[in-house]
């Protein structure tokens, strides 16, 4: 049984240690005297000294990082570690390198002696002056004299060695041998321009230039990227990054990094590696300039290993506002693709992984239960069938009714975009600060503005459809109308949360209208047939910047050139990059679609086709036609304008170009003169009178290079056509006659 004891504890009136006794109850414990409680304040005797020390240390660190006198290898831990590794390797290789230098020095010394003893310089001078016969006696006498000198020197050296051995044993011989080997090593050091000293490399130079930067300088010279008398400035020494070596250099003055990127193939040839192993990028931003180049050389083909499966396979959900895992670049960095506020065009020839690439962004949106999907598969296969269980709208087929159904979808989306902008005007600035959708708006069911994506596989099928449609009294083909609808959505839809993903196996100017291609933000080009098709997907003259998907190997399935519209792991300033997409077979695709349906059922966000609600679309064709500028609200067709006869030779030029007038930006003068069979001088004068002046422009050739030629920009030709229709050119001619 515990006893209750009352023990006094000394405290002051205010709880200090100097006061009286207050009884405190304790149960079943021994009484212990507590230590006095002391109140105090920590006083720093030297705050000024500490601050001064920290200030000095920060100044020293700043000076150490910026001073040009401090070696680069000592400024960062990574560089110091790499410098230590290089030092260890150099020490281990030094005996072998010293031996080779001695051998090269011996060969060089023999060559120099032979040239001297045979009086080579005197003989060559006599041959050039055509007086060899007159000087033959003198040359022979001088040759015999130098042979005698050689013999005398050998005898003297032999006698000196014998005398030294007799006087002091083997020590003089060892000393003489060491001195001779050092002299031969110095003579045999690698130095360009001297016989027997220029390194002859066999096989790839990848490892060699990491140890000897002079080899990299030689490669730039061989590729004609710098002159013979120019050199490179090492910004960051070669370091190990992934499965390759990275280095950053500064080019000589007036040399541009863009030229190095454009001639990447020549540099790869100089380094004896495949161009797929070489990545050359211009360093942008505060740490770069127009002449700074970052290089990375892989040890082997970075795309030779089996592809990796998408990391989305193990994700229960995904946020559509996060970039979707798309693939990995040559350095094995994960590349995520932004989708919101942009659109995506995927182009390739058949069986290169186009559909697999299109399903990757779809997988990220499927795993977000707050998104809405429109899926149109004009391949009519089974690649997209699993998306039926999550798609708001779904169809698969290539018949005319499917094309017309897509047309109705697009009309519905145009009306949806217009409605969203009207609703955004009524929202408070705290909810919608700009005329753009936000994550909060997209997830608010009362606002009904979720992220909406439309996927069109084999988009060339609806764009090439000749099915007639009537749009507010105006006759169009279904392909033309769908092209106008897609262009409008690509322009105004992203800010309202509409994402377009178009995939085609025929990327040519006739299939995808130039106006549509110009407003698609992100591009991904897998292997195509030639550089023209690559430029149609990636953008004009991208092949002259070093990005040509027609050069990709056929064995590299799923490898393409990505031109993102947004920041990726490669940096915000990277123009384009080669990416190998993640692998997503049908079983993984089906599992992701099932996971997406389960998430939608849990959030109660199943709509449309997935929920069995394929209701009739409520379409306002008049409002949509007025919005995109195709027709007018009046049902009566406008009277057609009378045709205008174009003056020559503009009419012949338009007939010759045909559809290419909208597909090309520049037409060479030589091509027009040869096709029209006209005199070049007269043709140029007549075109100048019509307001079309020939200008010089750089045009890519079939071998990937560029050459400067004269020609006409198609924009000037179209402007001249408009002036003819408006009567401006005729009025100008009258003024000239009056003058």
Question: So where are the chain's domains?
Answer: 77-187, 206-298, 311-628, 650-738
Residue 378: the pLDDT is 93
Residue 35 gets which letter from DSSP?
P
Determine the Cα–Cα distance for residues 610 and 629; give it in Å rounded to an integer.
Answer: 33
| Edge-first strand listing for the sheet containing 233-241 | 233-241, 244-250, 292-298, 278-282
Burial grade of 548 (CB within 10 A; 0-12, 13-18, 19 or more): buried
Residue 482: the pLDDT is 92
Determine the Cα–Cα distance for residues 356 and 378; give it in Å rounded to an integer.
Answer: 15
Class at the top of the CATH hierarchy for domain 311-628: alpha beta
Residue 192: the pLDDT is 42
Residue 187: the pLDDT is 83
Ranges in the chain, pLDDT < 70:
1-49, 126-135, 190-212, 509, 567, 569-573, 614-623, 625-627, 629-645, 658-664, 699-706, 725-739
Do 324 and 360 form a contact (C-beta atoms < 8 A)?
yes
Determine the Cα–Cα distance for residues 49 and 665; give it in Å rounded to an integer.
Answer: 69
Residues in a beta bridge with 504? 347
- pTM for this predicted structure: 0.61
CATH 3.30.980 given to domain 206-298: yes
Do 512 and 463 form a contact (C-beta atoms < 8 A)?
yes
For the record, the structure tokens of 668 come out as: 């060479």
State how far Cα 540 lies from the chain centre. Answer: 16
Do 238 and 249 form a contact (C-beta atoms < 8 A)?
no
Query: Could you please report the per-residue DSSP string of 303-332?
Result: TSSPPPBPGGGG-S---TTSPEEEEEETT-
Residue 21: the pLDDT is 44
Determine the Cα–Cα distance for residues 439 and 367; give it in Å rounded to an integer.
Answer: 16
Peptide bond into 271 cis (omega under 30): no
């Amino acid at each position: 049984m515990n006893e209750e004891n009352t023990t006094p504890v000394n405290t002051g009136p205010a709880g200090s240690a100097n006061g009286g006794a207050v009884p405190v109850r304790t149960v079943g414990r021994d009484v212990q005297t507590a230590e006095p409680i002391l109140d105090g304040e920590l006083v720093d005797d030297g705050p000024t000294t500490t601050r001064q020390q920290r200030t000095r240390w920060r100044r020293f660190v700043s000076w150490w990082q910026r001073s040009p006198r401090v070696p680069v290898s000592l400024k960062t831990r990574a560089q110091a570690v790499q410098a230590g590794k290089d030092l260890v390797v150099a020490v281990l290789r030094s005996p072998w390198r010293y031996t080779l230098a001695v051998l090269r020095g011996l060969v060089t010394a023999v060559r120099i002696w032979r040239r001297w003893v045979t009086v080579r310089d005197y003989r060559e001078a006599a041959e050039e002056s055509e007086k060899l016969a007159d000087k033959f006696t003198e040359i022979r006498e001088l040759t015999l004299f130098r042979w005698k000198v050689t013999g005398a020197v050998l005898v003297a050296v032999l006698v000196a060695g014998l005398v030294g051995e007799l006087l002091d044993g083997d020590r003089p011989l060892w000393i003489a041998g060491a001195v001779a080997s050092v002299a031969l090593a110095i003579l045999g050091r690698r130095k360009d321009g001297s016989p027997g000293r220029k390194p002859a490399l066999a096989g790839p130079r990848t490892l060699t230039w990491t140890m000897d930067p002079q080899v990299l300088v030689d490669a730039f010279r061989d590729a004609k990227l710098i002159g013979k008398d120019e050199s490179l400035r090492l910004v960051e020494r070669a370091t190990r990054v992934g499965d390759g070596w990275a280095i950053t250099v500064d080019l000589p003055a007036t040399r541009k990094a863009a030229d190095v990127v454009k001639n990447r193939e020549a540099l790869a040839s100089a380094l004896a590696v495949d161009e797929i192993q070489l990545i050359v990028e211009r360093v942008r931003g505060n740490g770069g300039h127009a002449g700074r180049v970052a290089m990375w050389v892989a040890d082997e083909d970075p795309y030779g290993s089996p592809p990796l499966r998408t990391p989305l396979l193990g994700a229960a959900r995904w946020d559509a506002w996060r970039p979707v895992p798309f693939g990995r670049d040559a350095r094995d960095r994960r590349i995520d693709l932004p989708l919101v506020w942009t659109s995506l065009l995927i182009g390739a020839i058949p069986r290169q992984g186009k559909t697999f690439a299109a399903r990757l962004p779809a997988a990220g949106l499927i795993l977000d239960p707050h998104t809405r999907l429109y899926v149109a598969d004009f391949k009519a296969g089974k690649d997209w069938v699993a998306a039926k269980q999550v798609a708001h709208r779904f169809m698969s087929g290539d018949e005319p009714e499917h094309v017309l159904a897509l047309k109705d979808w697009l009309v519905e989306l145009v009306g949806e975009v217009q409605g969203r902008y009207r609703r955004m005007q009524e929202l408070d600035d705290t909810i919608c600060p700009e005329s753009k959708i936000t994550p909060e708006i997209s997830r608010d069911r009362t606002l009904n503005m979720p992220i909406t994506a439309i996927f069109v596989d084999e988009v060339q099928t609806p764009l090439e459809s000749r099915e007639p449609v009537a749009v507010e009294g105006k006759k169009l083909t279904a392909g033309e109308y769908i092209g106008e609808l897609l262009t409008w959505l690509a322009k105004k839809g992203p800010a309202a949360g509409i994402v377009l993903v178009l995939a085609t196996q025929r990327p040519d100017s006739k299939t995808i209208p130039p106006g549509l291609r110009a407003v698609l933000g992100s591009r991904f080009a897998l292997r195509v047939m030639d550089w023209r098709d690559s430029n149609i997907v990636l953008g004009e003259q991208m092949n002259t910047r070093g990005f040509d998907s027609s050069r990709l190997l056929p064995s590299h399935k799923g490898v393409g050139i990505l031109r993102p519209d947004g920041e990726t792991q490669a940096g915000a300033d990277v123009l384009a990059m080669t990416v190998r997409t993640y692998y997503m077979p049908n079983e993984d695709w089906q599992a992701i679609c099932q996971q997406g349906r389960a998430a939608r059922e849990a959030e109660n966000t199943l709509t449309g086709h997935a929920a069995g609600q394929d209701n009739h679309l409520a379409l306002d064709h008049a409002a949509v036609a007025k919005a995109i500028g195709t027709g007018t609200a009046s049902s009566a067709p406008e009277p057609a304008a009378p045709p205008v006869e174009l003056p020559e030779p503009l009419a012949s030029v338009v007939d010759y170009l045909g559809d290419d007038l909208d597909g090309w930006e520049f037409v060479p003068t030589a091509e027009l003169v040869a096709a029209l069979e006209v005199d070049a001088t007269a043709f140029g004068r007549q075109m100048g009178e019509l307001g079309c002046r020939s200008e010089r422009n750089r045009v890519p050739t079939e071998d990937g290079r560029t050459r400067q030629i004269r020609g006409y920009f198609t924009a000037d030709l179209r402007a001249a056509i408009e002036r003819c229709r408006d009567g401006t050119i005729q009025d100008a001619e009258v003024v000239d006659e009056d003058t």
